Amino acid sequence: MRTSSDQLVVRSLVQPSFFDGDAVALARALIGATLIVRGVGGLVVETEAYRHDDAASHSSNGETVRNRAMFGPPGHAYVYRSYGIHWCLNVVCARGQAVLFRAIEPGLGVDAMRVRRGRDKLEDLCAGPGRLGQALGIDRADDGQPFDGCDLQIHVPSMMSQRILVGPRIGITKNADLPWRFGLSGSPHLSRRFA
């Protein structure tokens, strides 16, 4: 017996062309995808878009040593050190644009995540870009690496029926009103509530 809510969802590794485009569109498209880093990861429940002509973006003042990856090819990681402590993971799309992974629902390698994070309950393991980076073992060496299905993987579902939340980005002061943060409705793994 099938009901109308029964759906066969197939997840497939994305092609490089999937990433080549606008950050806002990609940030939305990545909600419900699966992010896997060296066998550890889960369902993407929160993202943010950063564009080139965007005062909140690290790329807004042009290419530097730090943001070099944001000006490299699409589908590669841009990893930066946040507040001197955390490693945060982006995927580069159009030139000077990237999507920040802000939260995932832990799915694969949860034990490894707990060891790296130290003590947390499931809802807090990957709820926030710094927490996610720590749980997934992200560091400087991942900067510029490709999402090619080896160390770094993105799989997308064949269909997405979930509602997607939209709101302003977190922790910025410039361009703070733009609705470029996306979330999976009802997820208990978000870094913060949507208004």
Residues 2-41 that bind DNA (CB under 7 A): none
Interaction between residue 48 and DNA (CB under 7 A): yes
Select the residue interacting with DNA from 36, 44, 93, 132 (CB under 7 A).
132
Contacts of residue 117, defined as CB under 8 A and 6 or more positions apart, other chains included, come to: 125, 131, 134, 135
Q: Where are the alpha helices (H) located in the chain, listed in sequence order?
A: 23-29, 110-117, 122-125, 129-135
User: What separation, in Å, do the N-terminal and C-terminal C-alpha atoms of the chain show?
Assistant: 39
**Nearest distance from residue 134's CB to DNA, in Å?**
8
Backbone angles phi, psi at 149, to 5 degrees: 95, -5
> Which of the ranges 34-42, 76-84, 142-150, 179-187 carries the binding residues for DNA, by CB under 7 A?
76-84
Q: CB-wise, 17 or 173, nearer to DNA?
A: 173
At 119, the amino acid letter reads R
Residues found near DNA in the complex (CB under 7 A): 48, 50, 56-59, 61, 64-67, 70, 78, 80-86, 88, 90, 98, 100, 117, 120, 124, 127-132, 169-174, 191
